[in-house]
Structure 1
Amino acid sequence: MIDNLKLRWRQYLAASLASYGSLCTGMSMGWTSPVLPQLRGPNSPLLKEPTLQEESWIGSLLVLGGLFGPLITVPLSKYIGRRWLIIGSNIPLLLGWLLAGVASNLETLYAARLFWGCATGMQFATIPIYIGEIAEDKIRGSLSALFLLFINVGFLLAYAIGPFTSYWGLTAAGGILSLFYVPFTWFIPESPFFLVLKGRSEEASEVLQKLRGTSKEAVLPELEGLQAMVAREFKEEPCIKDLWATKGNVKALGICVFLAMLLQLSGIDVLLFYMEELLVKVGSTMSASMGTIIMGVVQVVTSCVTPLVVDRLGRKLLMWTTSLGLTIFLTLIGVYALLDSYYKIDVTSVTFIPLLCLIIYMILFTLGVGPVPWILVAEMFPPKTKCLASGICSFMCWLAGFIWTRFFRDVAASYGIYTAFWILAVCCGIGFVFSATLLPETKGKTFDEIQDMLNKRESRQEVKPVDV
């Protein structure tokens, strides 16, 4: 019992310290919700009020910046390791807060958002892999869910601080919190897998002993397993062709790319970036700032539950049930907005519906559609292709997010906010069908067992390349 407590405590601490940066990027992502109304007010740092198009660029450029993250992490990951990439992601993060703090024109704000996006993209492409490599199979899902928990804490901080302080107060708070990122991440160990890959097996053994809270002899079987995996998988340098070298790799890439894009096409960034504005548009009578704080609290509380259920209920069940729920409640919001804004029907007796639906949306997203794609990215690929595959999934996720955050407000302005919500509902409906029919279950399986499942009856020694 004591050994189990040590194991869990040490691994949860390492995963939490690595995920702290996502709290800072969560603040930068939620920053737009309280800040955009301030940019239109008398205390704006800008010399003139931004237009609707310019505000859309402020929101969407962070997601565009996320495209650069994988382009940085994938080439460097095999040379400097996960730990230094996690530490290094704080450089564009701090630059973003600095630029936002001194901004007096849109160009500087645009640059700040791009830097924040780059940091976020680096973290999304690196931290889930790092956590997957330091965790034991039984708690891998729980540890991976911490990444989303810290992001949601960051959103809550932005929502809670923003309405009660100035533009500069919120920006300074984000910058100060980001300053702690380097000292916190300095104490995380390097991934044992990376150390074995670089021939530093003695260091890998020491790291495993610390993470598992046990002796050198006790971690020897795990170390030997890593050494055998590296010897088997890395006979040659990884290359892009490895992604379709087996049927399992092709299947894993298709699943993870689709789910990573679904994460964005469910509308999460739109809702989080423009939360205050959307609560006003869909007709909620509660003040926008109070509504966003409630939403942030719901996210954080649900994120605390996610690690407890993701390894109990499994990835597949969480994905299809939550995507089905998102479909239903996004449709309801669209119907409410149609009746209120288009048909001008008196809905004062049910004004609680938009906020209630958005709260349930956040609960469902945080339980399934949000964390599961990144857990699967860390689980479904063999070590040789994991970094490259993670970079591709992250890139596609941010590409989908940029397109949708950039044009969501245009769709809402041209065709009604209800149409925009129905488009989100259709995307989630497609995700439900996909998850219920094509998504395999990886709960509790080792990496080798997952590969055997993806490749069906093919053994690892007899896997044949796919004709392309």
Structure 2
Amino acid sequence: MGKGHTYVQWIVAFVAEMTLLTYGLQAGWVSPMKVILQSESSPAGRPLTEMEMTWVASAVPLAGVIGVPLFVYIADSYGRKVGVLVMAIMQMCCWIIKLSTTNIICLIIARILAGIPAGGCFQLIPVYVKEISQDNIRGMLVSMFLLMQNLGILMIYAMGSYLGYYTVLWIVLTMSVASVLALIKAPESPSFLVKIGKYEEAAATMAFLRGLDMNHKEILGEVNLLKEDDRHFKSLPDITLLAILKNRSYRTGLLLVVIIITVQAINGNYAMFTYASSVFSESGVTLSPELQSLSIPIVMILGSFTSMSCVDKFGRKVLLTLTFAIITAALISLGTILTMRHQGGSFPNWLPVVIIIVSVWSHAAGVAPMPYVIMSEMFNFQIRAKVLGCVVSYAWFVSFLQLFAFGPAISLIGLHNTMYCFAAVNLVGVFLTLLIVPETKGKSVEEIEKMLAKK
């Protein structure tokens, strides 16, 4: 008990991030099931039309916008753990509905029940995991949430390729039930316990997470620091969004995060994930459907492992800058290959595959997780959930715009020029990260706020 340990923090983070695994299962479910639901042997009793499938697919991102403010309210009013548990229950209900009926209206309702917690996952999970983690491992634990999402996508692609419709649903429902049961035993965030005045419970929870005695000087020091922050912010008027904007360090931090999230959301990789088959085909790549669908999540998982292993070693800023730069080079190369192909040129068949893999890997290794890691560390716990809620809602909307504009952009300027445009966005990301993003590795919230106040 004197030396402490970190394995409980890893277990709790894994349990919370099971909601991201379920989100990955939901996000990838349409791809393998589309063929089944539109076949003559569809479990719906008839093939679903293209418009019906469009509604089934698009219900998740649309509902995600609703989910963000809902879980901001739950997290601030009832607790981080309660919010995560509500997410898991809603995800479980989604699978139950899909198992119970294949009526198109019910399928859309089920997808809405999946989309609402999806909106909260990217806002609440980083907050909860950050607040139960000690400084030297928080980067790894927070960045693990994208690994869980990518594992979910890989699992549903693999199961959908080789197992039946209802077999897949029974498997994922079992996993979802296990997630709910595990979350019931998970602890509440010490930061939230301090916020509601449960100081002894906060100390006991922190001691349990760290493997230390409640009276250990490290536990007492951290709880006292949380109490001082809590007293300070309770002495202030209610912190509204307007009040946040009036505070120089908060305003600067929010602006920096919005800028980086904008670049991340329109950098092209989300569209490439969604339209991977078209990009492969336009590049002259021919792969079997199973290999093609599985290759993207496998590479994303490898990127997530890279992120987890490097984030606390090299820092957030270095990893984000490097991966933006790699994606820039990859998309310029892909645009050049597409231009050569359009003009009748030739190139090795393996080259586009390598370039797409490098781009996907880089996105998963840095561009996707680092803004959320930085966000979770940048703001005081009293405003963290509120700020992240606004930013994540914005991110969902911008991602939708990118996806919505991808098809028309290809028709208007061609895929090759679209890749050049995405490369330019990533190049902007390189310079913005170098110039304006602070390094948050190993720094307290107070130290980060002082850096932001000087910008």
Question: TM-score over 0.5 for the alignment?
Answer: yes
The alignment covers a number of residue pairs equal to 451
CA contact (8 A) 2:378 2:449 kept: yes
Once residues 251 and 428 of structure 1 are traced to their aligned partners in structure 2, the CA distance between those partners, rounded to angstroms, is: 22
CA contact (8 A) 1:121 1:394 kept: yes
Residue in structure 2 matched with residue 224 of structure 1 by the alignment: 224
Q: CA deviation at 1:35?
A: 2.9
Once residues 22 and 203 of structure 1 are traced to their aligned partners in structure 2, the CA distance between those partners, rounded to angstroms, is: 28
Gaps of at least 5 residues in structure 2 are none
Given the alignment, which residue of 70, 79, 82 partners 2:80?
A: 82
Given the alignment, which residue of 50, 68, 72 partners 2:66?
A: 68
For 1:94, what is the secondary structure of its paired residue? helix
Once residues 42 and 377 of structure 2 are traced to their aligned partners in structure 1, the CA distance between those partners, rounded to angstroms, is: 45
Residue in structure 2 matched with residue 332 of structure 1 by the alignment: 333
Give the counterpart letter for 1:206 in structure 2: A
1:50 aligns with 2:33: no
Deviations for 1:410-451, whole angstroms, at most 9, x for unmatched residues?
A: 433554333443343232222222112111111110111111
CA contact (8 A) 1:30 1:272 kept: no
Residue in structure 2 matched with residue 111 of structure 1 by the alignment: 109
Once residues 415 and 90 of structure 2 are traced to their aligned partners in structure 1, the CA distance between those partners, rounded to angstroms, is: 34
Give the counterpart letter for 1:363 in structure 2: W
Q: Describe how 1:206-225 pairs up with structure 2 within 5 A.
A: 206-218=204-216, 219-225=219-225
Q: Describe how 1:446-461 pairs up with structure 2 within 5 A.
A: 446-456=444-454
Deviations for 1:193-229, whole angstroms, at most 9, x for unmatched residues?
A: 1001101001001101101101122111111111111
Give the counterpart letter for 2:435 in structure 1: T
Shift in CA distance, 281/290, structure 1 to aligned 2, threshold 3 Å: same
Residue in structure 1 matched with residue 155 of structure 2 by the alignment: 157
CA contact (8 A) 1:89 1:119 kept: yes
Residue in structure 2 matched with residue 380 of structure 1 by the alignment: 378
**CA RMSD, aligned part only?**
2.4
CA contact (8 A) 1:323 1:431 kept: yes
Give the counterpart letter for 1:227 in structure 2: K
Once residues 220 and 152 of structure 2 are traced to their aligned partners in structure 1, the CA distance between those partners, rounded to angstroms, is: 39
Q: Describe how 1:16-415 pairs up with structure 2 within 5 A.
A: 16-45=14-43, 47-48=46-47, 50-51=49-50, 57-101=55-99, 104=102, 106-218=104-216, 219-235=219-235, 236-340=237-341, 342-343=342-343, 345=344, 347=346, 350-413=348-411, 415=413
Q: CA deviation at 1:55?
A: 5.2
For 2:251, what is the secondary structure of its paired residue? helix
Deviations for 1:148-182, whole angstroms, at most 9, x for unmatched residues?
A: 11111111112222222344444443333222221
Give the counterpart letter for 2:157 in structure 1: Y
Give the counterpart letter for 1:165 in structure 2: L
Out of 323-332 and 83-92, give the one that drifted further.
Answer: 323-332
Once residues 416 and 222 of structure 2 are traced to their aligned partners in structure 1, the CA distance between those partners, rounded to angstroms, is: 53
Gaps of at least 5 residues in structure 1 are 458-468
Given the alignment, which residue of 8, 11, 36 partners 2:9?
A: 11
Out of 201-210 and 169-178, give the one that drifted further.
Answer: 169-178
Q: CA deviation at 1:299?
A: 1.9
Once residues 335 and 100 of structure 1 are traced to their aligned partners in structure 2, the CA distance between those partners, rounded to angstroms, is: 44
Out of 18-27 and 358-367, give the one that drifted further.
Answer: 358-367
Once residues 275 and 93 of structure 1 are traced to their aligned partners in structure 2, the CA distance between those partners, rounded to angstroms, is: 26
CA contact (8 A) 1:282 1:336 kept: yes
Taking structure 1 as the reference length, what is the TM-score of the superposition? 0.89
Once residues 282 and 311 of structure 2 are traced to their aligned partners in structure 1, the CA distance between those partners, rounded to angstroms, is: 34
Q: CA deviation at 1:105?
A: 5.7
Shift in CA distance, 20/49, structure 1 to aligned 2, threshold 3 Å: closer
CA contact (8 A) 1:57 1:406 kept: no
Residue in structure 2 matched with residue 460 of structure 1 by the alignment: none
CA contact (8 A) 1:260 1:373 kept: yes
Q: CA deviation at 1:49?
A: 5.2
Deviations for 1:46-105, whole angstroms, at most 9, x for unmatched residues?
A: 634533x66555444322221112110122222210001000012332333344445646
